[in-house]
Amino acid sequence: MSKSTSNLFFYITGCATGIFLGILYAPQKGEITRDRLTFRLSKYKEQIEKLIADLMERDDFPESMAKAEGERVVSDAREKAERLLEDVDKLMAQIKNQSN
């Protein structure tokens, strides 16, 4: 795993851990917490989608092995981000189901 992929993984893991701990120790009512969590998750989803789009549009990789390695890193990051987005969608659906 390259350094940038590793950093992205740790960033995403840290965000997920923070969200989880925030829910556990939330001082507000469940409905308010769910609404705020849904809002924040949608913002994170937008940021991740933008990051994926930015990574896919980059043309400044030098020709050679560096370009191949860069494309592999982008592909790995995109796959991990897509899995995270799926998890976020599932979590948002669960939150919406609980609030109904």
Q: What backbone torsions phi and psi does residue 66 show, to the nearest 5 degrees?
A: -65, -40
Q: What is the CATH number of the domain that holds 23?
A: 1.20.58
Which structural domain, as residue segments, surrounds residue 61? 3-99
Q: Return all residues near 15 (Cβ < 8 A) that are at least 6 apart.
A: 44
Work out the pLDDT band at 2, boundaries 50, 70, 90: low
Indicate the average pLDDT of the chain. 76
Number of domains comprising the chain: 1
Residue 5 has pLDDT above 60, yes or no: yes
What would the pLDDT profile of 50-92 be if each residue is shown by its tens digit?
877 777 776 655 556 666 777 788 788 888 888 888 888 788 7
What pLDDT does 77 receive?
81
In sequence order, what DSSP letters do the residues of 37-79 get, joined into one string? HHHHHHHHHHHHHHHHHHHHH---PPSSHHHHHHHHHHHHHHH
* pLDDT at 96 > cutoff 80: no
Say which DSSP state 28 is in: S
pLDDT for the residue numbered 63: 58
Go through 65-85 and write b for each residue having 16 or more CB atoms within 10 A of its CB, e for each that does not: eeeeebeebbebbbeebeebb
* Predicted TM-score (pTM) of this structure: 0.39
The reported pLDDT for the residue numbered 90 is 80
Quote the tokens at residue 18: 């923070």
Count of beta carbons in the 10 Å neighbourhood of residue 88: 18
